[in-house]
Amino acid sequence: MEKIKLLAGFLIKSIVSDRDEVKISLSSPNPNSIIVEVDALKEDIPIIIGRKGSVIRSLRSILRILSPRENKFIDIRIVEKDR
């Protein structure tokens, strides 16, 4: 699961304006899934989502490549925080 966190962190931190404010955490609500939670600044959320959701869909697709290896479903959730 550490590879998922590292890959998500690398991809997301490379597109936001303030990479130090991005926090990546993993949660597993059930044994068959992994949720990547992205905590970023409010002004970076549109960058992560992209136009019509294109960036977040691409990030999900890239992370789901690791799904068979982990034998789990992988999804991304964005947590919006004002700082």
Q: Give residue 19's domain range.
A: 2-81
Q: Which residue carries 């409010």 as its tokens?
A: 42
CATH code of the domain covering residue 73: 3.30.300.20
* Euclidean distance between the first and the last CA atom of the chain, given in angstroms as a whole number: 28
pLDDT tens per residue across span 23-79? 999 999 898 999 999 999 999 999 999 999 999 999 999 998 888 888 889 999 998
Q: How many domains does the chain have?
A: 1
Alpha carbon 10 to its chain centroid, in Å, reads: 10
pTM: 0.85
Residue ranges of E strands in 1-83: 23-27, 33-41, 73-81
Instruction: Calculate the CA dihedral of residues 52, 57, 58, 60 and round it to 10 degrees.
Output: 160
